[in-house]
Structures are given as structure tokens and as C-alpha cells.
Amino acid sequence: MDYARLFRLDGRRAVVVGAGSGIGRESALALGAHGAEVVCADRDEAAAAGTAAEIERGWALGLDVLDAGAVERAARDLGDVDALVFTAATNVRKRLLDYTPEEFDRVTGLNLRASFDLVRAFGAPMVRRGRGSIIGFSSIRAFSVEPGQGVYAATKAGLIQLLRTAAAEFGPSGVRVNAVAPGVAETPLTAQIKNDPAWYDAYAGKTALGRWAGAEELAGAVVYLASDAASYVTGSVLTVDGGWTAVDGRYDPPGAGC
């Protein structure tokens, strides 16, 4: 075993959906830095092109994942894909009684239905070739909810079960499927919270490390799951949350205690 090259991705093609910004962008850059050819896909093709320009073997693809036909065409036209990473998601922060059916459809449509389409479109040729890695982004909200996050949390919990089922179904063909569950990370999706100092500090205080993650701190998980370092890892959820789920609900009593 050449452990020095365990994380290298030379000669492999990765597709990153959501590569125009945030975690998707950093994931694409990290995969490229480890030798992969990276297709930077995003609804905002100009943003995807900006990411691709920073990768030696990177190129951009305009892709609206809400268009199932476009997803199928992309999977067909791209040919052999060794790794699929998808990060695109949306959230409407409202309590359940305030939600509209249109908002429900918008959140579930992008977070769950589009994920279903991506897994099927890119997973089928991987199964036929007998290799590949699929990495979808869930969230700690799949396990730990708060008021106003119900629909988002439901989609992220559903995504984990979708990916675990894909792992079971695709595994006999040599295809691995895993989820990454971030905690609070500074991305465009969390801009509303970042701009509220009280909210920002409260979330930072929920973690063991006492801070938010930078989007780049999620990229290592993606490289790991895409590489041979994770050759026996499938059906797993890699939580990258600064210890949030380990200490959620903690109480630090005064004094020594026991």
C-alpha cells in the first residue's frame, strides 16, 4: 500500500454541484488540489467558471438541478465520473404553522427531490462501470432541530436515509455513497445568521470549539470520502460540526462536581 498517495485523485473526474460558492466551491478546489479533474457545476455558470479558473484541470458547467432532464443530460454527456459531490440546498426559516405549501415545495424540491435525481442520474453509470463515490451534504439538523428549522431538518434527515439506501443498493457494484453533516459554517446559506451578532455568538457557543467553521474546513471530508483512503467507507455520515452534536444540551455546573 502506497500510503503517501492514499488521498491523491490523479486521473479521476469529479463533479461538484454547487461549486459556485461556499462549501461546494471549497470542495472543488480541494479535489483539484489533490489531482482530480473537476467539473464545477452550478446554476450560476459564471460563479462556477470563477471556481474552475482556479483549478488546473477544472471546467464549468451551468446546471439547474431542479431540471431533472438537465441532470440526466449532464450525467450522460460527462461520461465517466469517479466522484459526485452535491451541496446545493435552501432553507426557509419559519415555524411549521407559518409555512406555505409553496415554501414547503421549494425546500423539499431542491434539498430532497433534486438530490434523488442526482443520485439516480450519476449513480446508474457508476453502477454499470463498477466504481464511484457519491457524497451528499446533509446537516446536523438531521439529528438536532430547533424551532423554525422543521422542513429543512426533515429534508436533511431524509437525505441521509436516501444515501444510506443507495449505499446498500449500489455497494455490490463497488459504488460508495456517504453523507457529510456540517455544523454551523460560514456560507451564503447562513448569511442571515452571520449578520446577527447575538445569533452568531449563540451558535458558536453551541460547539465544543466555540466557533463557526469556515467553508474550507469541510473540504477535507470530501477529499477523504472521494479517495482510496475511504475505500471501505459507505453508508456513513461524517459529522463535521466542531463537536456540536457531542455537547448539545450540555450544562457546565459551577465548581468541581463529579
**pLDDT tens track for 196-205:** 888 899 899 9
- In tens, the pLDDT along 146-170 reads 899 999 999 999 999 999 999 999 9
Domain residue limits, the chain: 9-240
Tracing cell 440526466 back to the chain, one arrives at 72
Q: Considering only CA atoms, which of 51, 9, 20 is closest in space to residue 229?
A: 9
Q: What do you get for the CA distance between the two ends of the chain, in Å?
A: 46
pLDDT in tens, 31-83: 999 999 999 999 999 999 999 999 999 999 999 999 999 999 999 999 999 99
Phi, psi of 2 (to 5 degrees): -90, 85
Active site residues: 152
For residues 123-141, average pLDDT: 98
> What pLDDT shows up at residue 79?
94
CATH ID of 9-240, from 3.40.50.2000, 3.30.479.30, 3.40.50.720, 3.50.50.60: 3.40.50.720
pLDDT digits (tens, 9 = 90+) for 82-115: 999 999 899 999 999 999 999 999 999 999 999 9
